[in-house]
């Protein structure tokens, strides 16, 4: 299957693994890229630019295929050394960067000068148009279903993707709620040129996270995520657990007056405890509604092969058979 996205990034299949804090290490990125998709190393999970340079080198040792690095611009406790991370990306010969959070204009000229393709992940058509205007090569349109930060507009992909198709000239992929061949074919039908998956790639053999996390995703239904940090306008979709219930109770009590400090114990510094330590109740961790569609833990190769062969069946048999 060839789309503008496979051509732009030089990949075999139109499937991308989105950046994920403490999940997007070289092991997963290389596995996705080796399976013909685009794997992504999450830049800020690496404590320093030098650590990121080492992680890029580690990925390169495991794959000769293209892979991406994610650069996320979100409110953080301390400001990361973005110029240092950009230098590590350029010096490491990375060919694709996924930006997310704020508008990436501050890093874009450096990435473009280095010939790097930039795909910006955003949750609204107006932000996608802005990304197009400032020179991004593609966008990843992240619907309300998504794990992580769905923004504040709450528009699901059934509406957001056709709206993006109506407005955008640059190619885009669907993101949020994507899990299988049905997701891919539906995304293509709505105008996307591929799909980006987060939660689905966590439940794979190569995802370098604790088995408890993978098992929790398989066990979860589509009813098991919650939205936290809404009063802070930094909404995050997370797997429900006792820590999340505590956060929601504080937010319900304090409303608009909720401050980050009120919930910090259950949202800050949680990822190492969950992803590495396997302590599922250590705090809030991102997870998409799509957990309801995930019921196995395949290798990335098995997952991507299955998606591509079933997508072909859907298009050639189910859909063509209706004509």
Ligand X SMILES: Cc1cc2nc3c(=O)[nH]c(=O)nc-3n(C[C@H](O)[C@H](O)[C@H](O)COP(=O)(O)O)c2cc1C
Contact set with ligand X (CB under 6 A): 18-21, 23, 42, 70, 72, 100, 121, 142, 145-148, 175-178, 196-200, 285-288, 290
Which DSSP string do the residues of 97-138 spell out, in sequence order? EEEEES-GGGTHHHHHHTT-EEEEEESSHHHHHHHHHHT-SE
CA nearest neighbour of 148 among 38, 20, 256: 20
CB of 57 to ligand X, least distance (A): 21
CB of 100 to ligand X, least distance (A): 3
CB of 39 to ligand X, least distance (A): 12
Dmax (CA) for the chain in angstroms is 58
Of 65 and 214, the one with the shorter C-beta distance to ligand X is: 214
Of 158 and 319, the one with the shorter C-beta distance to ligand X is: 158
Of 77 and 322, the one with the shorter C-beta distance to ligand X is: 77
CB 253 within 8 Å of CB 231: no
Of 121 and 127, the one with the shorter C-beta distance to ligand X is: 121
CB of 254 to ligand X, least distance (A): 26
CB of 189 to ligand X, least distance (A): 18
* Contacts for 195 with CB less than 8 Å, ≥ 6 apart: 14, 15, 16, 173, 174, 175, 178, 183, 184, 187
CB 240 within 8 Å of CB 225: yes
246: region left, alpha or beta (phi > 0 left; psi from -120 to 50 alpha):
alpha
Of 2 and 68, the one with the shorter C-beta distance to ligand X is: 68
Name the residue whose CB lies closest to ligand X. 198
């Amino acid at each position: 299957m060839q789309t503008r996205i496979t051509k732009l990034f030089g990949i075999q299949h139109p499937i991308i693994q989105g950046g994920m804090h403490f999940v997007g290490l070289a092991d997963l990125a290389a596995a996705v890229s080796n399976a013909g998709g685009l794997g992504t190393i999450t830049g800020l999970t690496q404590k320093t630019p030098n650590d990121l340079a080492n992680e890029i080198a580690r990925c390169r040792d495991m794959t000769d295929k293209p892979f991406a690095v994610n650069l996320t611009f979100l409110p953080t406790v301390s400001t990361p050394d973005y110029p240092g991370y950009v230098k590590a990306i350029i010096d490491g010969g990375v060919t694709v960067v996924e930006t997310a959070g704020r508008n990436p204009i501050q890093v874009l000229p450096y990435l473009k000068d280095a010939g790097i393709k930039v795909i910006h992940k955003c949750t609204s058509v107006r932000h996608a148009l802005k990304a197009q205007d400032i020179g991004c090569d593609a966008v990843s349109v992240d619907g309300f279903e998504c794990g992580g930060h769905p923004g504040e507009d709450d528009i699901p992909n059934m509406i957001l993707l056709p709206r993006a198709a109506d407005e955008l000239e640059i190619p885009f992929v669907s993101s949020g709620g994507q899990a299988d061949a049905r997701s891919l074919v539906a995304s293509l039908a709505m105008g996307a040129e591929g799909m980006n998956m987060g939660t689905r790639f966590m439940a794979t053999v190569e995802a370098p996270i604790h088995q408890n996390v993978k098992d929790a995703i398989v066990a979860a239904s589509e009813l098991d995520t919650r939205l936290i940090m809404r009063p802070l306008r930094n909404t995050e979709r997370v797997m429900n657990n006792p820590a999340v219930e505590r956060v929601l109770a504080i937010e319900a009590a304090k409303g608009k007056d909720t401050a980050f400090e009120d919930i910090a114990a259950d949202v800050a510094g949680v990822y190492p405890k969950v992803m590495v330590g396997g302590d599922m109740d250590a705090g809030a961790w991102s997870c998409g509604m799509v957990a309801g569609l995930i019921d196995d833990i395949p290798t990335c190769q098995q997952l991507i092969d299955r998606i591509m062969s079933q997508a072909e069946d859907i298009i050639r048999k189910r859909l063509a058979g209706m004509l």
